[in-house]
Amino acid sequence: MPHRECPGHRHHRRVLGAAGRSAGPGPRRLVPRLPVLGRGTGAVTAPAELTKVLIVEDHRVVAEGLWALLAEYGDLTVVGWADSVAETVPMAKELTPDVALIDFRLPDGTGADAAAGIRAHDPSCAIVILSADASDSALLAAVEAGACGYLLKSASGDEIASAIRSAAEGETLIPAGTLVEVLSRHRESARSTAEQTGRLESLTRREQEILTLMGQGLDNRAVAEQLSISYATVRTHVRKILEKLEVRSQLEAVAKATEWGFRPVEPE
């Protein structure tokens, strides 16, 4: 495992792990001895037990910012930084964080993948996702992986710190009402997708061939010539295509079919 020091710090560091040893055969993992500060209140005495936080973020500048930000809260301490899904699980095993603060987009997977890996090893570690992705699918993936919180990167430092504290106490940070709304939208989207797939699957092989040629820009007479069938037969098939896809024009049929994932077929 590559030697990793605290983002932005080269001196005044301490070694993590029992008796200063790394849990694995690789080099020692180093983190900074950061000052303990109260948010806007000057120096404060550290509490008896700090909430240990593992940052999972692939952008170094963001990781550095989060590390420095959390150092300003006297009850929180960052114990490490991972920059990929692959690195997250072994680091979590070694450092046993109370809370993992995870970006949703990682180079080798998603924050949900990292969360699932941590939770499989240590169900007691709370997961808070911090991401720029505000989509319903990202939120649902995070919840399914065991995350108790989902924050956008526009959140303030106080909001992030508060979320970490609440997560460490076992609280769920995603309001039930919000989750119900998201699930409702997700079900509606899934229903629409199923309907679209059903419409495409209702097309006969010949109708699929004609739709493919329409997508290539051929008009009805050119389609008839290409398939060696009559112009009237093509018009009949086109009318059925429009009815099955519930569209008003051939152009709309091509656009909708493409949007719904239609795969062109070669004429037989």
CATH of residue 32: 3.40.50.2300
Answer yes or no: do 200 and 169 share one domain: no
- On whether the CB atoms of residues 31 and 103 are closer than 8 A, the answer is no
**At residue 47, does pLDDT exceed 80?**
no
Question: What is the layout of strands, in order, in the sheet containing 99-103?
Answer: 76-82, 51-56, 99-103, 126-131, 149-152
Is 8 a member of any domain? no
Distances (CA, A) of 132 to 59, 164, 177, 243: 13, 18, 21, 41
Answer yes or no: do 75 and 129 share one domain: yes
Domain coverage including residue 136: 13-179
Of 179, 202, 236, at which residue does a domain stop? 179
**At residue 37, does pLDDT exceed 90?**
no
How many Å is the Cα radius of gyration of the chain?
27
CATH of residue 204: 1.10.10.10
The pTM of this model reads: 0.56
- pLDDT for the residue numbered 196: 87
Give the number of residues written for the chain.
268
Answer yes or no: do 63 and 170 share one domain: yes
CB atoms closer than 10 angstroms to residue 215? 17
- pLDDT for the residue numbered 141: 84
Answer yes or no: do 118 and 223 share one domain: no
- On whether the CB atoms of residues 106 and 86 are closer than 8 A, the answer is no
Q: What is the pLDDT of residues 124-179, one digit of tens each?
A: 999 999 988 888 888 888 888 888 889 998 999 999 999 999 999 988 887 666 76
CA angle 107, 110, 116 (to 5 degrees): 130
Q: What is the pLDDT of residues 67-92, one digit of tens each?
A: 999 999 999 999 999 999 999 999 99
Of 122, 144, 179, at which residue does a domain stop? 179
